[in-house]
Structure 1
């Protein structure tokens, strides 16, 4: 199972995977760890990533860049209109007022949504990952800027679905960076000690994101975040480009901004100039050949000049950093270090501002480009059941305030409440209580603040269905659970109605309970159950895509809070159960005792919820998936066709030179002339009628060429390999001949082999020697322009047959010598020592056998015997 983290930037993307006990960055097919966030559409296919970068200028109107800012946006949004001014392609307002991108694909006009473009980029990253890992990729974690709204986060999930990916979590860039920083730190303070506060500054191509995180061993908590979505490295590039465009207009009388291609070329060169100025304080030249109207332009800029021009941008950066410090409520002494990531933090002036605000040198502990992707891969490993990761919990923050509105009586204003304030912990759930007689609607919105740069405040509408009054006409109590999930997305996760039972229903329910021998439930039991439902953060039942690492620590409050939402129809004094009851064991015991005395008066019903959020309907999503599938199939077809055409072209160029060089003596003059003409005709056909034909036509063309060229190549290879093959056969024959001679001389190594067996060896040697001599002579009489009489494979085959017969015979092992029967050990000793075994007569007239004296009697009780 793969564990993948994807950093989708406005300009470029990075892929990180958990493998080999660590995190690695995956390179694409160009061995580049960076993949540009570019999708280009052509007459035959689309091009994505590194290959599409060459199309930015040549196919500017059909090459989509900087589309991340367009996700889930309305066309009328001022940010979109500002972005539109810099884009080379056209935008169009769609029926739902969202943004569409006008393109030409397969010579047909088409309109693509930014979500579809993102899905195409994700598809490319998925393919690169699968090629690098050699396995299928499904699960991933995708990074987004911390300022992304609910709609933008849903758009990322939609794009991942179109690309066939299961996005386990949409993770904030700054949180991913802090996770990549903290999980490897071994010297973090313990949970009981004062946390270590780290500031992270991430400035990339299009935005500035900052955060302050508190680290303890095994956990991190985001204290504050602040960002500016409209300032980044590209703003510096455009500022320099505007300067030189004005200079060239005066110096060379050309208006670079009037045409797309020279304007894009100038921006690319200004980006290079900015990077050079970051490393050098001297004046750096800018030279562009044929920028416009065949005019070569030159210019110069020094770092000090650039810093003077960009001072308004630097002031905005300073404002964001001061706001972060103010929101964190930390003193400068409380900050341990300042970590910088992102390409634009390499600008010296940006580093100077950071040092000036926080009074600390900028630290580059992390990889400035790959830190986000690495953090996402770590988070994906935590969510994956197949990986063991060091326990590390993460508590994120909500960037904006979320309000909830609902309708009341006609003569009253709609009810409203602030459900989740700014910088609230994520993920988090709250339980709301309403009193209603019919279905009602909840409307979630953002609060307009100074840091909210969006035109649309709407999050979504959620209709609670199937609500009905109680049997006595009173309002029913409806409990609604709202949640900010691990993705940072607001949802109404569940709704239930507490229905009062009529007396007849109570009696029937009591009878049912008695029949099933189940204890009855009363209001207090229901209240106790409801209280115990309100679990603290670390015990709440979580969706499949959340883990304990996402859950905030349990401070003084619980993750699931209860709120009463009252109106004129609310019964007197009825309140939602408090979560404190679940914590008091004594109260629970008392409630259990009273339960047995009371009858059940309410029944809980789960209610259906109808959501209207920023997501395409299932039919539209299916259409997007089908479109993506067709495009992938067309890309594969064009790729295969291109490979087939390249194979023909490669064969033409290769053979044209070889038939007059190394293959010259292996082809007849007439055949060479004819083959050369065929190669020339094929080359002309490739650049004329055969420039764009079906794949099978290219295959047939290649087969036709190989009918003429392959025999020549075969004769050449045979002439090189044949001598070695004959030599090997000859050495094998000599080897077995030597063994045969040794056998005939009575060599002890082979005298155990039977004569009939050795005759087989002798016959086989004669047979193969004859075959070798005949075919060697025949081959020497055939010219090299003709096909060989005997091939190398045939020679190797004959060598193998020779070995198959002879080798088992000549390597036959000698039989073991027969063993003689064992002699009596005592006799052997006597014989060896030369002792006389004659009986010896004692003085008393008895005789004794000397050998018998040495053996004790078997029945002697003092004799010890070893038994095996």
Structure 2
């Protein structure tokens, strides 16, 4: 099972994977860890990643860059209109008022959504990961900026679904960085001690994100976050480009901004200049050939001049950092260190601002480019059952306040409540209680704040269905569970109705209970009402309604005491455990008066319908199939072109001796004709036509190449056969001389060896002489494979015979046991001869038999 973390940046992406040795960063097919966030559309196929970077200028209107800011946005959003100014491609408002990107694909006009573009980029990253790991990739964790809204997070999940990925978690960039920092620290304070507070500053290509995290052993807690979604490294690039565009207008009388290509070229060069200024304080030259109207331009800029121009941008950075310090409510002495990540934090002026505010040197413990991807891979490993990771809990924060609204009577204002305040812990669940007679709708919205840069405050609408009044006409009690899940997405996860039972239903329920003879279950809400006790963590938005005012609402927070949604007993509740147990016993004796029913929920959120999502998936599948077809076609065409260039040179060089003059002239003409065909009629044909062309060329070229290779390898093959014959001849001579090593082999078997040696010697000599008489321009009489085959046959017959092992000597019969004992004791017993001439062993008479009647025994 793969464990992958994906850092999707506005300008570039990184892939990290968890392996047995730790976290590794995967390189793409160009051996580059960085993959540009670019998708280019051409006449035949689309190009993604590094290859698409070459299309940014040459195919500007069909190359999509900086699309991350367009995800799940309305076309009328001021941020979208501001972004539109800088984009080389066209945007279009769709029917649902979202953003569409106008492109030309396969010579046909088309409109793509930003979610589809992101899915294409994810598909490319998935392919790069599978190529690097050699296995299929499905599960992953994807990073997003901490300021992303509910709609943008849902858009990332939609894109991952289109790409065929299972996004296990949408993780904030700053949280991923803090996880990558803290999980390897062995010296963190224990949970009982004061936490270690660390500031993280992440400034990338398009945004600034900051956070303060408190670390203890085995856990981290995000204390505060602050960000600016509209400032990043690209703003510095544009500022420098504006400066030189103004200078060139005066100096060379050209308006660079009037045309797309020179303007994009200037921005690319200004980005390089910015990086050089970060490492040098002297004036850095800018030289661009034929920028516009065949005019070569030059200019110079010094770091101090750049810092003066960018002072308004630096002031915005300073404001964000001061807000972070204020929201965290920490003193400077409480901060342990300041960690910086992101490419734009390398700008010296940005480092100076950070040091000025926090009074600490910037720490670069983390990899500034890959820290986010590594943190995502660690989170994916924690969520995966394949890996065992050190326990490290993470508590994130909600960036914006979430309100919930619901309709009431026409005479009254709609009800509303602040469900999740800003910087609330994530994930989290709350249980709300409503009193209703019919289906009703809840609407979730964000609260407009200074750092909320979005036009649309709506999160979604959730309709609670199948609500009906009680049997007596009163309102039914409806419990609704709302949740901020691990992705940071707001949902109404469940709803249930507490239906009052009529007296007849109560009797029926009592009869059923007696028949089953099982203890009666009592609803927890009824138990709480009967005991007149309220849980310590229960709050109410309004006074619980009476029958006369059924439209009023009450909100019970049943599981809001823990970040994971689990209820923990408070101090008062723990003290009254005994009372509650007694109350439960009393309640069990009472009849059940309510029954719980699960209710259906209809959600209207920022997600495409299933039919549209299916259409997106089909479109992506067709594009992938077309890309593969074009790659295969291009590969086949390249094979033909490569063969033409390779053989045209070789037939006049190393292959010259192995081809006749007439054949060489004919083959050379065929190669020239094929080359001309490739750049004319054969520039874009079907794959099988290229394959047939290559086969036709190889009919002429392969025999020549074969003759050349045979001439190189044939002497070695004959030499190996000769050495084998000499080896067996030596063994045969030793056998004839009576060598003990081989005297156990039968003569008939050695005769087989001798016959086989004569046979293969004769074959070698004959074929060697025949081959020497054949010209090099003709096919060989004997091939290297045939020589190897004859050598193998020789070994197959001779080797088992000459390596036959000697038979083992026969074993001697076992000696008499008594003799063995005598030999072991080392005694020599003399043989005694009797008068009748028989011999007797004296040792056999030393011990008379026990049943002999003449034996005398001494008894003590």
Which interval holds the TM-score relative to the shorter structure?
over 0.9
Structure 2 match to 1:29 = 29
Relative to structure 1, the CA distance from residue 561 to residue 500 in structure 2 (aligned partners, 3 Å threshold; closer, same or farther) is closer
In the TM superposition, residue 747 of structure 1 has moved relative to its aligned partner by 1.1
Contact 1:10 1:37 in 2 (8 A): yes
Relative to structure 1, the CA distance from residue 390 to residue 845 in structure 2 (aligned partners, 3 Å threshold; closer, same or farther) is same
Contact 1:37 1:121 in 2 (8 A): yes
Equivalent-residue separation in structure 2 for 1:841 and 1:858 (angstroms): 25
2:738 corresponds to 1:746: yes
In the TM superposition, residue 595 of structure 1 has moved relative to its aligned partner by 2.6
In the TM superposition, residue 508 of structure 1 has moved relative to its aligned partner by 1.3
Relative to structure 1, the CA distance from residue 575 to residue 667 in structure 2 (aligned partners, 3 Å threshold; closer, same or farther) is closer
| 1:333-344 correspondence to structure 2 within 5 Å | 333-344=333-344
Relative to structure 1, the CA distance from residue 648 to residue 569 in structure 2 (aligned partners, 3 Å threshold; closer, same or farther) is closer
For 1:560, what is the secondary structure of its paired residue? coil
Contact 2:262 2:291 in 1 (8 A): yes
Relative to structure 1, the CA distance from residue 782 to residue 547 in structure 2 (aligned partners, 3 Å threshold; closer, same or farther) is farther
Equivalent-residue separation in structure 2 for 1:215 and 1:550 (angstroms): 38
Q: Which runs of 5+ in 1 are unaligned?
A: 535-541
User: Aligned residue pairs: how many?
Assistant: 860
In the TM superposition, residue 786 of structure 1 has moved relative to its aligned partner by 0.6
Relative to structure 1, the CA distance from residue 573 to residue 333 in structure 2 (aligned partners, 3 Å threshold; closer, same or farther) is closer
Contact 2:433 2:553 in 1 (8 A): no
Alpha-carbon deviations, 1:721-747, whole Å to 9, x = none? 011101111111111111111111111
Contact 1:431 1:562 in 2 (8 A): no
Relative to structure 1, the CA distance from residue 533 to residue 810 in structure 2 (aligned partners, 3 Å threshold; closer, same or farther) is farther
Alpha-carbon deviations, 1:228-275, whole Å to 9, x = none? 000000000000000000000000000000000000000000000000
Relative to structure 1, the CA distance from residue 24 to residue 867 in structure 2 (aligned partners, 3 Å threshold; closer, same or farther) is farther
In the TM superposition, residue 597 of structure 1 has moved relative to its aligned partner by 2.7
Contact 1:224 1:397 in 2 (8 A): yes
In the TM superposition, residue 588 of structure 1 has moved relative to its aligned partner by 3.3
For 2:548, what is the secondary structure of its paired residue? coil
Contact 1:147 1:229 in 2 (8 A): yes
In the TM superposition, residue 521 of structure 1 has moved relative to its aligned partner by 3.7
Equivalent-residue separation in structure 2 for 1:728 and 1:571 (angstroms): 77
2:467 corresponds to 1:440: no
In the TM superposition, residue 772 of structure 1 has moved relative to its aligned partner by 0.9
Contact 2:79 2:454 in 1 (8 A): yes
Equivalent-residue separation in structure 2 for 1:485 and 1:517 (angstroms): 41
Greater Cα offset, 762-771 or 263-272:
762-771
Greater Cα offset, 560-569 or 267-276:
560-569
Equivalent-residue separation in structure 2 for 1:571 and 1:126 (angstroms): 32
Greater Cα offset, 566-575 or 410-419:
566-575
In the TM superposition, residue 817 of structure 1 has moved relative to its aligned partner by 1.9
In the TM superposition, residue 576 of structure 1 has moved relative to its aligned partner by 17
Relative to structure 1, the CA distance from residue 562 to residue 344 in structure 2 (aligned partners, 3 Å threshold; closer, same or farther) is farther
Contact 1:62 1:89 in 2 (8 A): yes
Greater Cα offset, 415-424 or 504-513:
504-513
Relative to structure 1, the CA distance from residue 691 to residue 582 in structure 2 (aligned partners, 3 Å threshold; closer, same or farther) is farther
In the TM superposition, residue 520 of structure 1 has moved relative to its aligned partner by 2.7
Equivalent-residue separation in structure 2 for 1:723 and 1:268 (angstroms): 60
Relative to structure 1, the CA distance from residue 626 to residue 824 in structure 2 (aligned partners, 3 Å threshold; closer, same or farther) is same
For normalisation by structure 1, the TM-score amounts to: 0.92
Greater Cα offset, 592-601 or 250-259:
592-601
Relative to structure 1, the CA distance from residue 859 to residue 792 in structure 2 (aligned partners, 3 Å threshold; closer, same or farther) is farther
Contact 1:721 1:792 in 2 (8 A): yes
In the TM superposition, residue 509 of structure 1 has moved relative to its aligned partner by 1.4
In the TM superposition, residue 846 of structure 1 has moved relative to its aligned partner by 17
Contact 2:150 2:489 in 1 (8 A): yes
Alpha-carbon deviations, 1:696-750, whole Å to 9, x = none? 0000000000000000000000000011101111111111111111111111111
In the TM superposition, residue 516 of structure 1 has moved relative to its aligned partner by 1.6
Equivalent-residue separation in structure 2 for 1:567 and 1:793 (angstroms): 79
Contact 1:564 1:575 in 2 (8 A): no
In the TM superposition, residue 849 of structure 1 has moved relative to its aligned partner by 6.1
In the TM superposition, residue 579 of structure 1 has moved relative to its aligned partner by 12
Contact 1:393 1:549 in 2 (8 A): no
Relative to structure 1, the CA distance from residue 859 to residue 139 in structure 2 (aligned partners, 3 Å threshold; closer, same or farther) is farther
For 1:563, what is the secondary structure of its paired residue? coil
Equivalent-residue separation in structure 2 for 1:403 and 1:153 (angstroms): 18
For 1:549, what is the secondary structure of its paired residue? coil
Alpha-carbon deviations, 1:472-500, whole Å to 9, x = none? 11000000000000000000000000011
Structure 2 match to 1:170 = 170
Give runs of ≥4 in structure 1 deviating > 4 Å: 522-526, 528-534, 542-562, 564-584, 822-868
In the TM superposition, residue 507 of structure 1 has moved relative to its aligned partner by 1.0
Relative to structure 1, the CA distance from residue 715 to residue 113 in structure 2 (aligned partners, 3 Å threshold; closer, same or farther) is same
Relative to structure 1, the CA distance from residue 810 to residue 566 in structure 2 (aligned partners, 3 Å threshold; closer, same or farther) is closer
Relative to structure 1, the CA distance from residue 433 to residue 751 in structure 2 (aligned partners, 3 Å threshold; closer, same or farther) is same
Equivalent-residue separation in structure 2 for 1:499 and 1:571 (angstroms): 30
Equivalent-residue separation in structure 2 for 1:553 and 1:754 (angstroms): 113
Relative to structure 1, the CA distance from residue 732 to residue 836 in structure 2 (aligned partners, 3 Å threshold; closer, same or farther) is closer
Relative to structure 1, the CA distance from residue 531 to residue 369 in structure 2 (aligned partners, 3 Å threshold; closer, same or farther) is farther
In the TM superposition, residue 566 of structure 1 has moved relative to its aligned partner by 17
Alpha-carbon deviations, 1:585-628, whole Å to 9, x = none? 32332233213431111110000000000000000000000000
Equivalent-residue separation in structure 2 for 1:97 and 1:420 (angstroms): 28
Equivalent-residue separation in structure 2 for 1:746 and 1:551 (angstroms): 117
Equivalent-residue separation in structure 2 for 1:549 and 1:829 (angstroms): 106
For 1:550, what is the secondary structure of its paired residue? coil
Relative to structure 1, the CA distance from residue 567 to residue 860 in structure 2 (aligned partners, 3 Å threshold; closer, same or farther) is closer
Relative to structure 1, the CA distance from residue 416 to residue 835 in structure 2 (aligned partners, 3 Å threshold; closer, same or farther) is closer
In the TM superposition, residue 43 of structure 1 has moved relative to its aligned partner by 0.3
| 1:820-831 correspondence to structure 2 within 5 Å | 820-823=812-815
In the TM superposition, residue 20 of structure 1 has moved relative to its aligned partner by 2.0
In the TM superposition, residue 568 of structure 1 has moved relative to its aligned partner by 27
Structure 2 match to 1:538 = none
Q: Which runs of 5+ in 2 are unaligned?
A: none
Contact 1:435 1:477 in 2 (8 A): yes
In the TM superposition, residue 552 of structure 1 has moved relative to its aligned partner by 30
Contact 2:434 2:555 in 1 (8 A): no
Relative to structure 1, the CA distance from residue 559 to residue 397 in structure 2 (aligned partners, 3 Å threshold; closer, same or farther) is farther
Equivalent-residue separation in structure 1 for 2:848 and 2:551 (angstroms): 93
Relative to structure 1, the CA distance from residue 89 to residue 828 in structure 2 (aligned partners, 3 Å threshold; closer, same or farther) is closer
For 1:855, what is the secondary structure of its paired residue? coil
For 1:430, what is the secondary structure of its paired residue? strand
Contact 2:539 2:555 in 1 (8 A): no
Contact 1:395 1:550 in 2 (8 A): no
Equivalent-residue separation in structure 2 for 1:571 and 1:352 (angstroms): 37
In the TM superposition, residue 834 of structure 1 has moved relative to its aligned partner by 12
Contact 1:430 1:563 in 2 (8 A): no
Relative to structure 1, the CA distance from residue 218 to residue 570 in structure 2 (aligned partners, 3 Å threshold; closer, same or farther) is closer
Equivalent-residue separation in structure 2 for 1:792 and 1:237 (angstroms): 65
Alpha-carbon deviations, 1:64-85, whole Å to 9, x = none? 0000000000000000000000
Contact 2:539 2:557 in 1 (8 A): no
Alpha-carbon deviations, 1:267-299, whole Å to 9, x = none? 000000000000000000000011111110000
Equivalent-residue separation in structure 2 for 1:658 and 1:485 (angstroms): 66
Equivalent-residue separation in structure 1 for 2:373 and 2:543 (angstroms): 22
Greater Cα offset, 581-590 or 272-281:
581-590
Relative to structure 1, the CA distance from residue 560 to residue 10 in structure 2 (aligned partners, 3 Å threshold; closer, same or farther) is farther
Contact 2:541 2:555 in 1 (8 A): no
Contact 1:520 1:596 in 2 (8 A): yes
For 2:757, what is the secondary structure of its paired residue? helix
Equivalent-residue separation in structure 2 for 1:576 and 1:217 (angstroms): 22
Alpha-carbon deviations, 1:152-183, whole Å to 9, x = none? 00000000000000000000000000000000
Contact 2:543 2:553 in 1 (8 A): no
Relative to structure 1, the CA distance from residue 747 to residue 840 in structure 2 (aligned partners, 3 Å threshold; closer, same or farther) is closer
Contact 2:190 2:217 in 1 (8 A): yes
In the TM superposition, residue 770 of structure 1 has moved relative to its aligned partner by 1.1
Superposition RMSD in Å: 6.4
